[in-house]
Amino acid sequence: MNLRDLKYIVAVADEKHFGRAAEECAVSQPTLSAQIIKLEDYLQIQIFERHRGNLIITPAGAEIIQQARIILDHAEQIHKISAFATDRFAGTLSLGIIPTIAPYLLPLILKKLASQLPKLTLQLKEAQTHQLISDLKDGKIDAMILALPTEETTFKEIDIYREDFYLAVPENHPFAQKKVIQTDTLDGESFMLLEEGHCLRDQTMELCRLKPSQIGQSLRATSIETLLEMVRCGHGMTVVPELVTKQGRGNICFIPFAKPIPHRRVGLVFRQTFSRQDLMVKLVETMQGIL
């Protein structure tokens, strides 16, 4: 049995005439006749009684045609679903973002993004890199924004922006007077970092070549904001990405690093096999246009 066959019998039921039904289905009359005979043969049941000018639908045939109409309706639905879905910039996108990006990037772009991609609905999830990677593999999210690279071969990455790091010190700290800072002058300083699992923690440790003794152990900071609060109170210093410095903050100085300026690449990551790659490109372009 075949959707085409069902179309044929519905056409015959509508037209009560094989020739006209064939025309409606854009096939020749013998083709339509043969297919219907084959269907009747397959179902072991007669659907139509043929007479000239007087076509009778058998009772079972009428029931079958009723089902066929339902089936064709739903088949049409499938076409509609596809047609809608092929508007690649519409629909819902489930997007993961790491905690050191989300609160600083989202306020800058969400509003304009909604106006430039009006048919796109974002479903946001904030989690650490390793969690997002797992979610992306499982299909729980469609894409994610985080620090590149991910080292995952099954993912594709597109750079969105490059973000320089800054040293955050209390404004009464000696460093606060410096225009730039050399990473090798940080040797004895005491640092505060985010809790384990944040990529920013690892990046900071690496770029400042921190010894375990320099890292404040008492604190398990879950956010940059907490960290900055501690800095403000003079418990130590920390490193933050550029976007964090854009919001006005009292009592804290953000000192640029000397060249080569340490930074991170922030990008959009998705599965190589993801079905909406053109939306990914569009999304990145739109975000870059806003920033």
Partner DNA sequence: TATTTTCAATAGATAAAACCTATCATATAT
Partner DNA sequence: ATATATGATAGGTTTTATCTATTGAAAATA
Contacts with DNA, residue ranges (CB under 7 A): 2, 4-5, 17-19, 26-31, 33-38, 50-53, 55, 137, 153-154, 272
Instruction: Please report how close the Cβ of residue 56 comes to DNA at its closest, in angstroms.
Output: 10
- Residue 34's binding partner among a second copy, DNA, none (Cβ under 5 to 8 angstroms by kind) is DNA
* C-alpha–C-alpha distance, residues 286 and 291, integer Å: 9
Nearest to 283 by CA among 156, 163, 165: 156
Q: Is 221 helix (H, G, I), strand (E, B) or coil?
A: strand
- Residue 115's binding partner among a second copy, DNA, none (Cβ under 5 to 8 angstroms by kind) is none
Instruction: Please report how close the Cβ of residue 186 comes to a second copy at its closest, in angstroms.
Output: 43
Instruction: Please report how close the Cβ of residue 280 comes to DNA at its closest, in angstroms.
Output: 17
Terminal CA-CA length for the chain:
56
Lookup: tokens for 78: 């499938």
Residue type, 246: K
CB within 8 A of 37, min separation 6: which ones?
A: none
Contacts to a second copy from residues 54-93, by CB under 8 A: 54, 56-60, 63-64, 67-68, 70-71, 74-75, 77-79, 81-82, 84-86, 91-92
Site string for a second copy, 91-120 (x = CB under 8 A): xx----------------------------
- Residue 26's binding partner among a second copy, DNA, none (Cβ under 5 to 8 angstroms by kind) is DNA
- Residue 114's binding partner among DNA, a second copy, none (Cβ under 5 to 8 angstroms by kind) is none
Q: DSSP letters of 241-269?
A: EHHHHTS--TTEEEEEBPSSPPEEEEEEE
Instruction: Please report how close the Cβ of residue 87 comes to a second copy at its closest, in angstroms.
Output: 11
Sign of CA dihedral 188, 192, 195, 199: negative
* C-alpha–C-alpha distance, residues 260 and 207, integer Å: 11
CB closer to a second copy, 60 vs 291: 60
Please give the angle made by the CA atoms of 229, 233 and 236, to the nearest 5 degrees. 90
Burial class (CB in 10 A: 0-12, 13-18, 19+), 197: middle
Instruction: Please report how close the Cβ of residue 57 comes to a second copy at its closest, in angstroms.
Output: 8
CB closer to a second copy, 223 vs 277: 277
- Count, residues near a second copy per rule CB under 8 A: 43
Residue type, 196: E
For the chain, counts of helices (H) and of strands (E) = 10, 9
Site string for a second copy, 26-45 (x = CB under 8 A): -----------------xxx
Question: Using CB under 8 A as the criterion, which residues of the chain lie in contact with a second copy when the complex forms?
Answer: 1-4, 43-46, 49-51, 54, 56-60, 63-64, 67-68, 70-71, 74-75, 77-79, 81-82, 84-86, 91-92, 137-139, 154, 271, 273-275
